[in-house]
């Protein structure tokens, strides 16, 4: 691991705005971006396609170790994800894949086999790392750790708005209950549970807009001299 290269670790539950923040930071700083959730989603998608049981830890650990993935930054559009020659950028965002990802992410051997792959993203000039255990496990020496929070209700409303689902519908109730059960699974698993590192700066995005969160992050990056801004 190259400890000289700065990392900003950004952790928190799903729907809290991490993805948007991390993409904006990596574009502003021109640093690399690690979307670690995408790795768990890719293992899950492979498992679903190969009909591997989601608790078959040995097979899934092998899938995680071999994952033939390529991340390609498409300027202005985000990151294109290619799995074994197939563009899966959209497929991995489906709810069923997210649900399966949360299950495979609870398996210690899967996590262990993704560890070095995640650390390999730490290359000059710097890395923005998006996930659940960036500050606690993957980059414990990161010079800046952010932990984003927001109430489950706010996150469900954001997700519903993205999907154009009305807030008083049965679909909204399902989105809300799925968020609660996924939070519980991510926070209660034995290996690398979702929690803020002791030295993380906690930002509640329930009230703050994403622009405010971005400005706060930039201020912290400047204060800690991780990057010089003109
Ligand atoms: O951030 P996301 O929704 O793409 O993550 C998908 C799943 O992967 C989510 O249930 C939590 C899990 N995950 C994890 O356990 N550790 C990470 N560093 C990133 C994601």
Q: So where are the chain's domains? A: 7-220
Rounded Cα distance between 122 and 220, Å, is: 20
Ligand 1 atom closest to the Cα of residue 101 is 7
pLDDT classification of 3: cutoffs 50, 70, 90: low
| Cα-based distances in Å from 149 to 18, 47, 77 | 9, 30, 26
Q: How far is the CA of 171 from the centre of ligand 1 (A)?
A: 22
Average pLDDT, the chain: 93
Atom nearest to 102 CA in ligand 1: 10
For residue 228, what pLDDT band results from cuts at 50, 70 and 90?
confident
In this structure, are residues 46 and 63 in contact, taking their beta carbons and an 8 Å threshold? Answer: yes
CATH number for the domain running over 7-220: 3.40.50.300
Report the nearest-CA residue for atom 9 of ligand 1: 102
pLDDT of 72-114, one tens digit each?
888 778 789 999 999 999 999 998 999 999 999 999 999 999 9
**Quick one: pLDDT band at residue 16, thresholds 50, 70, 90?**
very high
pLDDT at 159: 87
* 217 contacts: CB under 8 Å, gap ≥ 6: 8, 21, 25, 146, 203
Tokens found for residue 73: 């930054």
**Is the CB of residue 137 less than 8 Å from the CB of residue 11?**
no
The string of pLDDT tens digits covering residues 166-221 is 999 999 999 999 999 988 888 888 888 889 999 999 999 998 888 999 999 999 99
Q: How far is the CA of 228 from the centre of ligand 1 (A)?
A: 31
Please check whether residue 68 is in contact with residue 84, taking contact to mean a CB–CB distance below 8 angstroms: yes
Tokens of 117: 């792959």
Pair of tokens at residue 120: 């390999």
The token duo for 3 is 């400890």
Which residue has the least CA distance to atom 6 on ligand 1? 37
Q: Which residues pair with 34 in a beta bridge?
A: 129
Distance CA 174, CA 156 (A): 9
CB of residue 15 inside a 6 A radius of ligand 1: no
For residue 17, how far is its CA from the centre of ligand 1 (angstroms)? Answer: 13
Cα–Cα distance between 54 and 46 in angstroms, integer?
A: 11
Upstream peptide bond of 52 is cis (omega within 30 degrees of 0): no
| Residue range 128-152, pLDDT digits in tens | 999 999 999 999 999 999 999 999 9
Pocket flag, ligand 1, residue 121 (CB < 6 Å): no
Helix axes 108-119 and 57-66, enclosed angle (nearest 10): 10
Q: Hey, which of 13, 36, 39, 129 would you mutate to test ligand 1's pocket, going by the most ligand atoms within 8 Å of its Cβ?
A: 36
Q: Is the CB of 107 under 6 A from ligand 1?
A: no
Tokens describing residue 70: 């390529």
Which backbone phi and psi does 220 adopt, to 5 degrees? -65, -40
**Residue 1: pLDDT above 70?**
no
Residue closest to 143 by CA, chosen among 73, 57, 74, 225: 225
């Amino acid at each position: 691991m190259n400890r000289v290269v700065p990392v900003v670790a950004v952790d928190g539950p799903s729907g809290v705005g991490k993805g948007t923040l991390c993409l904006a930071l990596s574009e502003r700083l021109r640093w690399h971006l690690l979307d670690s959730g995408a790795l768990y989603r890719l293992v899950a998608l492979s498992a679903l396609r190969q009909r591997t049981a989601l608790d078959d830890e040995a097979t899934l650990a092998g899938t995680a170790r071999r994952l033939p993935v390529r991340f390609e930054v498409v300027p202005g559009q985000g990151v294109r994800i290619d799995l074994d020659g197939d563009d899966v950028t959209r497929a991995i965002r489906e709810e069923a894949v997210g649900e399966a990802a949360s299950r495979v992410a609870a398996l210690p051997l899967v996590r262990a086999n993704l560890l070095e792959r995640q650390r390999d993203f730490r290359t000059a000039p710097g890395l923005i790392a998006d996930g659940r255990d960036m500050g606690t496990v993957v980059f414990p020496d990161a010079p800046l750790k952010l932990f984003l929070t927001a109430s489950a209700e706010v996150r469900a409303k954001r997700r519903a708005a993205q999907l154009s689902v009305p807030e008083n519908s049965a679909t909204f109730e399902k989105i809300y209950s799925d968020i609660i059960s996924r939070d519980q699974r991510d926070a209660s698993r034995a290996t690398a549970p979702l929690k803020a590192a002791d030295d993380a700066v906690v930002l509640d995005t329930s009230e703050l807009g994403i622009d405010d969160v971005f400005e706060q992050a930039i201020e912290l990056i400047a204060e800690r001299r991780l990057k010089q801004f003109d």
